[in-house]
Amino acid sequence: MSLPYLYDLDLPTLEAWLADWGEPRYRARQIWEWLYRRLVTDVDQMTSLPKSLRQRLTEATRLTAPHIQAVQESLDGETRKDLLALEDGEQIEVVLMRYADRRSVCVSTQVGCAVGCQFCATGQMGFRRNLSSGEIVMQVLHFARLLEAQGQKLTNVVLMGMGEPFLNYENTLAALHRLIDSQGFQMGQRRLTVSTAGVAPGIRRFSEEDTQVNLAVSLHAATDALRNILMPLNRRYGLDEVFAAVTDYIARTNRRVTFEWSLIDGVNDTPEQALALAARIKGMLAHINLIPLNPTPGYAGQPSTPEHTTNFTAILDEQHIPYTLRLRRGLDIQAGCGQLRQSISQS
Ligand code: SAH
Ligand code: SF4
């Protein structure tokens, strides 16, 4: 446990280590390529390195294949959820979603979550710990490796698994940088999305970053009264503050923001909420993702009926608010983002 995890190191750190060991500088690049382009999980597979260096790396760092504890695949075979065990015994879930034109992986940033959104399985389990940058990156590499073996490429990464990325800000940003590294994994920045429950200072900080990574904000309610109940974080960062931060983000970056809205029957699918949402969003460079709620054991809410959903979207149409009504994925394996772990640890 005490040896540094190889995926936690950035390239300058690795270069400094190798310099200390008296190795030529290009060796760090070689290791980087083995890790992030060839996706090896064992130092001994780094065959272009001299044996002595491989031995030194093995003695000084940790690199292990992800420990898969369980795999669940949806009946249609398009969604797969893996339960990975971390070295301290904690568990996280990673989900792969295959669409006609892309393959997206949904990764976790924390074990559990302190935000405590009522409807969320992760929130219901409470906070356990932050993931390191390497533990975040490792989840992406895990499915990239699997896809590669099938002759496919990973196209998108969403940070929408367990946890609140902006409450683990440094590690999240370090992981993003490692994924977009032009000498490493080379993920296109626009193919990454980080989702926050509305940590306003995190949104402000993120707008200062020099990246083109997408931002999604989980809204779910357009009045403070309702949002305070659904997402207790709203009592700390209310809607005005969240929207002020998002407006500044758009002004600074000129990037479109996605608002996530899980439709909960009779709760946030009312005409009042639709109108309040439209009033907030109107004129913003923003898009709404409507997702039917995935019911969880700890919350009585149910997904909106088709009729209520139609009533809600009709108001958005009238108000010319752009939205996408998403389908639930991997329902039979409870693999909706934000619904992670609980189902598997119960089974
Ligand atoms: N903490 C971040 C990212 C992880 S949650 C956030 O809240 O944005 C990822 C998404 O799943 C969020 O939009 C969250 O609101 C949503 N979500 C959580 N539980 C859900 C459920 N039971 N049904 C549908 N969406 C859910
Ligand atoms: Fe945490 Fe996001 Fe779940 Fe809220 S929805 S409890 S912020 S993981």
**Annotated active-site residue in 93, 135, 164, 260:** 93
- List, for residues 210-223, the tens digit of each pLDDT value: 999 999 999 999 99
What integer pLDDT is reported at residue 74 of this predicted model?
87
Which of 158, 159, 164 has the most ligand 2 atoms within 8 A of CB, as the residue to mutate? Answer: 164
- Residues of the chain falling short of pLDDT 50: 340-347
User: Can you say whether residue 220 is alpha, beta or left, with left for phi > 0 and alpha for psi between -120 and 50 degrees?
Assistant: left
Domain 6-60: which CATH class? mainly alpha
* Cα atoms found within 13 Å of the Cα of residue 107, Cβ hemisphere only: 30
> 120 alpha carbon to ligand 1 midpoint, in Å?
6
Q: Are 122 and 298 in contact (CB under 8 A)?
A: no
How far is residue 142's CA from residue 96's CA, in Å, rounded to a whole number? 10
Instruction: List the chain domain ranges.
Output: 6-60, 67-333
Q: Are 297 and 342 in contact (CB under 8 A)?
A: yes
> What is the four-CA torsion angle of 276, 118, 293, 335, rounded to 10 degrees?
140
Known active-site residue 120: no
What integer pLDDT is reported at residue 69 of this predicted model?
93
What integer pLDDT is reported at residue 347 of this predicted model?
29
Known active-site residue 93: yes
Q: What is the CATH number of domain 67-333?
A: 3.20.20.70
Nearest Cα to Cα of residue 267 among 288, 293, 238, 233: 293
> 71 alpha carbon to ligand 1 midpoint, in Å?
21
What is the CB < 6 Å shell around ligand 2? Answer: 113, 115-117, 120, 122-123, 163-164, 197, 218, 338
Q: How far is CA 38 from the centre of its chain?
A: 23
6-60 and 67-333 agree in CATH topology: no
User: Can you say whether residue 298 is alpha, beta or left, with left for phi > 0 and alpha for psi between -120 and 50 degrees?
Assistant: alpha
What integer pLDDT is reported at residue 230 of this predicted model?
98
**Annotated active-site residue in 106, 117, 120, 337:** 337
How far is residue 214's CA from residue 255's CA, in Å, rounded to a whole number? 8
> 146 alpha carbon to ligand 1 midpoint, in Å?
25
> 160 alpha carbon to ligand 1 midpoint, in Å?
7
What integer pLDDT is reported at residue 326 of this predicted model?
85
- List, for residues 114-151, the tens digit of each pLDDT value: 999 999 999 999 999 999 999 999 999 999 999 999 99
Strand partners, 192: 157
How far is residue 149's CA from residue 222's CA, in Å, rounded to a whole number? 44
